[in-house]
């Protein structure tokens, strides 16, 4: 169309009319332009949609952690029944089941999730219940089966779990199985490990089958005149070893587990499991070059032999696997836990976890902290203990941390009372399940108790821990509840073990009333375990300036936690900003009792210059800093 049709020759431009616009719009050139723009729009839109879908698909997912189970969420609290609380009327100076029940509100308030009961089975008490006369009965000194059921119900009402000690390696020599085995009454004839004498001396005295030694010293063999054979006892002579080469024995012990599971027990701590099997050929064990005897030819202690024929034989794991299968059968609604006790190098102990297809223990006890001695307790040694366990841990396995039990000196005695809070900070905030021996939450100390004083107390006899007859009682004395008579443990004139003389000042009641105390720190730590970073966060452990241990627990999107401990006697100042994810400032969550009383919680501090007193421990919270990562387009 000519230009004159749109522009007047004698006037300014007046625009296009509607008809002219329509006429122009339908020209072939403009139609092509419109189609091209429309196609470009949809192609662009489709490209952006595809890119968005691709980005979503390629972006790493934030995996939802598998929900933790009851035995992973909270500490396990070991209760030593003889020393927890005497409830008898009149009082007899010995702890009992009803006494434990009377203290459950205290246990609940600690923030623990389960109690593990040391043995309460019917027993002559030659070894504090580890010489079991009847695996299905309660020792009268502790109460009755009705008392046990009452305790079990009271625990459930408070949301607490009950774990029992299980002693699979041996029974009492008074057990009916052993008495019938002596007489060769089937099927009990081979329920125990019997062997003929190697020979007889000129005076007719029998010679043991081999050189095997008892853990407590002396030969592991005891002659039985009635049967005219030796029986094996890797512990006391009153504790004959069961014979797991006999399938009937395994079946009997599985039936014992079923009995207690049917009573509502939530799991077992299995004692001395590495001793379950012995060499069937009864070969002599080789001399341990690192043994304790001064005379190279003398074998006087358990440590003098290398126990390749009596300890941790391959069949042990097979039996434990059978126990685990049984527990899993009872785990339809909630897991029935299996914890195992064995002392050996970490790498070997990891076999007790089993694997994903054939699990064994939920966890074998980690005694690495107990193995540390005061003289070699440093930031570096603790770092190595943590790294050793975590680095050797099988894929998917759950860690645990044990700092004390009824067989080892208390933390305050081993490491010093100043470090009680710091050690609790470490084990309670590391990944895994911490196990607390009763009394460690208030920093109880060993009590001076000699073997002669306690070798026959109230009919209870511990037996020597070794051939030198050293008492195992110092860490087993009564819990110190109050400053009253017998520390509030019992109103009896005499308690089965003496109460530590420091009880007027070191007791639960005093620490609950104090402005700051071991107990208050402990309870704050169990509360912190409920936080996402502590439950499911990553762990980073470092040694700062060769003297301070520090570790962080972080998970993106949640507050982080930082534990820092000074193992030196002197005050130190450290820069925590060198740790990953740690910002310039953090907030004090809790601190050890070694700090000055004017130090406060919720205080903001600069992470570049954190002051720690001698033996001081500190827990900080912070907002973790994560490096921004670019998403490729």
Please identify which of the residues 86, 241, 266, 271 carries the catalytic annotation.
271
Identify the burial level of 388 via C-beta atoms within 10 angstroms of its C-beta, where 0-12 means exposed, 13-18 middle and 19 or more buried: middle
Angle of helix 518-528 relative to helix 420-429, nearest 10 degrees, comes to 10
The 3-class secondary structure across 11-32, one letter per residue, is CCCCCCCHHHHHHHHCCHHHHH
- The sign of the dihedral angle between the CA atoms of 545, 547, 549, 550 is negative
Place of tokens 């759950």: 398
Please identify which of the residues 266, 341, 475, 531 carries the catalytic annotation.
341
The encoded tokens of residue 232 equal: 């094996």
Identify whether 271 is a catalytic site residue: yes
**Within a 13 Å sphere around the CA of 611, how many CA atoms are in the beta-carbon half?**
7
**Helices of type H across 514-552:** 518-528, 532-536
Is the backbone of residue 230 left (phi > 0), alpha (psi -120 to 50) or beta? beta
Q: Output b/e per residue, 578-606; b: 16+ Cβ within 10 A.
A: ebebbeeebebbbbbbbbeeebeeeeebe
Q: For the chain, first and last CA: distance in Å?
A: 49
DSSP output for 38-77: HHHHHHHHHHHHHHHHHHHHHSPP-PPPPPPPHHHHS-EE
What is the rounded distance in angstroms from the CA atom of residue 547 to the CA atom of residue 496? Answer: 43
Identify whether 341 is a catalytic site residue: yes
Q: What angle do CA 294, 296, 298 make, to 5 degrees?
A: 85
- The sign of the dihedral angle between the CA atoms of 315, 320, 325, 329 is positive
Q: Which residues are tagged catalytic?
A: 271, 341
């Amino acid at each position: 169309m000519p230009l004159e049709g749109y522009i007047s020759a004698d006037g300014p431009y007046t625009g296009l009319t509607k008809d002219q616009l329509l006429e122009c719009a339908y020209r072939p050139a403009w139609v092509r332009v419109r189609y091209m723009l429309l196609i470009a729009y949809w192609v662009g839109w489709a490209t952006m949609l595809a890119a968005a879908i691709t980005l979503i698909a390629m972006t790493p997912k934030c995996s939802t952690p598998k929900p933790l189970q009851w035995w992973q969420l909270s500490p396990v609290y070991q209760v030593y029944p003889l020393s927890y609380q005497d409830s008898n009327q009149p009082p007899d100076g010995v702890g009992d089941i009803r006494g434990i029940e009377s203290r459950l509100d205290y246990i609940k308030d600690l923030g623990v999730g389960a109690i593990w009961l040391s043995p309460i089975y019917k027993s002559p008490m030659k070894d504090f219940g580890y010489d079991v006369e009847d695996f299905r009965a309660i020792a009268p000194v502790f109460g009755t089966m009705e008392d046990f059921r009452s305790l079990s119900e009271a625990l459930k009402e408070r949301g607490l779990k009950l774990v029992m000690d299980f002693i699979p390696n041996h029974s009492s020599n008074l057990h009916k199985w052993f008495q019938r085995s002596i007489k060769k009454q089937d099927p009990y004839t081979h329920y125990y490990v019997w062997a003929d004498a190697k020979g007889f001396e000129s005076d007719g005295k029998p010679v043991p089958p081999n050189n095997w030694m008892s853990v407590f010293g002396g030969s592991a063999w005891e002659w039985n005149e009635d049967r005219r054979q030796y029986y094996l006892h890797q512990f006391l002579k009153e504790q004959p070893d069961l014979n797991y080469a006999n399938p009937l024995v395994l079946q009997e012990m599985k039936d014992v587990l079923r009995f207690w599971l049917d009573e509502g027990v939530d799991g077992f701590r299995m004692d001395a499991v590495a001793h379950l099997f012995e060499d069937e050929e009864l070969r002599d064990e080789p001399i341990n070059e690192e043994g304790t005897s001064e005379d190279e030819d003398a074998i006087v202690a358990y440590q003098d032999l290398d126990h390749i024929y009596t300890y941790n034989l391959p069949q042990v794991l097979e039996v434990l696997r059978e126990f685990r299968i049984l527990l899993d059968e009872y785990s339809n609604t909630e897991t029935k836990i299996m914890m195992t006790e064995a002392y050996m190098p970490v790498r070997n102990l990891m076999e007790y976890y089993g694997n994903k297809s054939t699990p064994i223990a939920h966890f074998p006890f980690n005694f690495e902290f107990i193995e540390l001695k005061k003289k070699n307790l440093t930031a570096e040694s603790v770092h190595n203990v943590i790294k050793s366990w975590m680095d050797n841990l099988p894929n998917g396995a759950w860690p645990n941390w044990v700092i004390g039990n009824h067989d080892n000196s208390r933390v305050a005695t081993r490491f010093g009372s100043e470090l009680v809070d710091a050690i609790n900070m470490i084990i309670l905030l590391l990944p895994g399940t911490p196990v607390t021996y009763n009394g460690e939450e208030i920093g109880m100390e060993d009590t001076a108790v000699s073997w002669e004083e306690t070798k026959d107390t109230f009919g209870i006899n511990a037996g020597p821990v070794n051939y030198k007859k050293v008492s195992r009682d110092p860490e087993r004395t009564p819990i110190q509840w109050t400053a009253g008579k017998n520390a509030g443990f019992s109103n009896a004139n005499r308690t089965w073990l003496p109460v530590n003389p420091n009880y007027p000042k070191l007791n639960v009641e005093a620490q609950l009333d104090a402005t700051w105390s071991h107990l208050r720190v402990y309870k704050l730590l169990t509360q912190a375990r409920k936080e996402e970073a502590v439950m499911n966060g990553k762990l980073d452990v470092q040694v700062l300036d060769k003297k301070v241990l520090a570790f962080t627990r972080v998970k993106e999107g949640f507050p982080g936690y930082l534990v820092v401990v000074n193992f030196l006697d002197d005050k130190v100042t450290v820069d925590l900003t060198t740790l990953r994810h740690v910002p310039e400032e953090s907030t004090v969550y809790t601190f050890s009792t070694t700090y000055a009383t004017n130090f406060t919680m919720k205080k903001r501090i600069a992470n570049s210059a954190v002051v720690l007193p001698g033996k001081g421990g500190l827990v900080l919270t912070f907002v973790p800093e994560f490096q921004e990562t670019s998403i490729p387009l």
